[in-house]
Amino acid sequence: MEPIILDGTRTARAIREELKEETRALTERGVEPTLAVVLAGDDPASATYVSMKQKACAQTGVRSEAYALPASASQQEIIDTIASLNARPEVDGILVQHPLPKGLDEMAVMTSIAPGKDVDGVSLASFGALALGVAQYASCTASGIIELLDRYNLPIQGRHTVVVGRSIIVGKPAMLLFLQRNATVTVCHTRTHDLAHHTRQADILVAAAGQPEMITGDMIQRGAVVIDAGCNRIEGRKGDVGDVHFESASRSAFAITPVPGGVGPMTIAMLLRNTIRSAQGRACG
């Protein structure tokens, strides 16, 4: 049987339509939701992701500002840019495009974002709050995954969720959000022994390892829901490639996200939603 394709593009479009109403109401009150995106370095993939975010902002009535710093920018220069954005009341959200150039302390940079504007939930304060279940904003990718499951009415509570990857930006926040939703969570990483043994037990499998097509059909339990957060560029292949081998995984999965068109658009939709929530907080004074 063909799996259900969890269409992130269509779902994100529906979310953007809902958000447009909210931006309209804010704009009528004189508040224009504003997102500032900080990009450091010259990674072409990062530049593409930033322009996709700006396009989605424009489609939703969110104003966006981009700050492109050269790869030679020092950590202090990036932190100073963030500090100036923190100080401007009309900036509702700040996103620092990940990854930063090598050699920079990403945690120090992320933690310089004011918690109220940390719409991707990457600072120490946001992450701590997420661990305690009281986060204002959680990672957009992890929230986008949960939102996609909810929109397809796929239950989370009690499901064994296996997350492959433990990064600050995807794996760990996904672990915490699934736990909050009463899933039973296993987290795998590079030191996990016999990865396939774990992935085969997943009712919901979240692949966030950054390894092209590493999850193959034989690693998936029949009837599982497979979420592919992977977004990898391979020389000689057009477009982004996921962490899941879509064709073989589709033979076992009950539902599966495509790449592109799965988690990526949902991430951007959550970024818009969080920025608008922050602007709503500003509107309420």
Q: For binding to ligand NDP (CB under 6 A), which residues are involved?
A: 141, 164-167, 169-171, 188-192, 195, 208-211, 214, 229-232, 263-264, 267
Q: Answer for the pair 228, 259: CB distance below 8 angstroms, yes or no.
A: yes
- Tell me the sheet residues that pair with 228: 207
Whichever of 35 and 170 has its CB closer to ligand NDP, that residue is 170
Question: Rounded to an integer, what distance in angstroms lies between the CA atom of residue 269 and that of residue 259?
Answer: 16
Measured distance CA(225)–CA(236) in Å, rounded: 30
Q: For residues 55 and 223, give the distance between their C-alpha atoms in angstroms, rounded to a whole number.
A: 36
> What does the alpha-carbon distance between residue 25 and residue 239 come to, in Å, rounded to a whole number?
37
Q: How far is the CB of 264 from ligand NDP (least distance, A)?
A: 4
Least distance between ligand NDP and beta carbon 19 (Å): 17
Residue among 13 and 282 whose Cβ is closer to ligand NDP: 13
> Could you say which of 7, 97, 136, 172 is catalytic?
97
Q: Which residue has the closest beta carbon to ligand NDP?
A: 167
Q: Are 64 and 54 in contact (CB under 8 A)?
A: yes
The minimum distance between CB 13 and ligand NDP, in angstroms, equals 16
Cβ proximity to ligand NDP, 12 vs 253, nearer residue = 12
- 97 flagged as catalytic: yes
Output 59 or 280, the one with its CB closest to ligand NDP: 59
The rounded distance, in Å, linking the Cα atoms of 166 and 5 is: 25
Q: Decide if 78 contacts 136 (C-beta within 8 A).
A: no
Q: Of 92, 120, 203, 240, which one is the catalytic site residue?
A: 120
- What is the nearest approach in angstroms of ligand NDP to the Cβ of residue 31? 27
228, HSE (Cβ side, Cα atoms, 13 Å): 33
Residue 223 near residue 256 (C-beta atoms within 8 A): no
Tell the smallest beta-carbon distance from residue 34 to ligand NDP (Å). 21
Q: Please say which residue, 86 or 165, places its beta carbon nearer to ligand NDP.
A: 165
Query: What's the token pair of residue 103?
Result: 């050699």
Cα–Cα dist 42/44, whole Å = 6
Query: Residue 48 has which token pair?
Result: 């593409």
What residues are labeled active site?
53, 97, 120
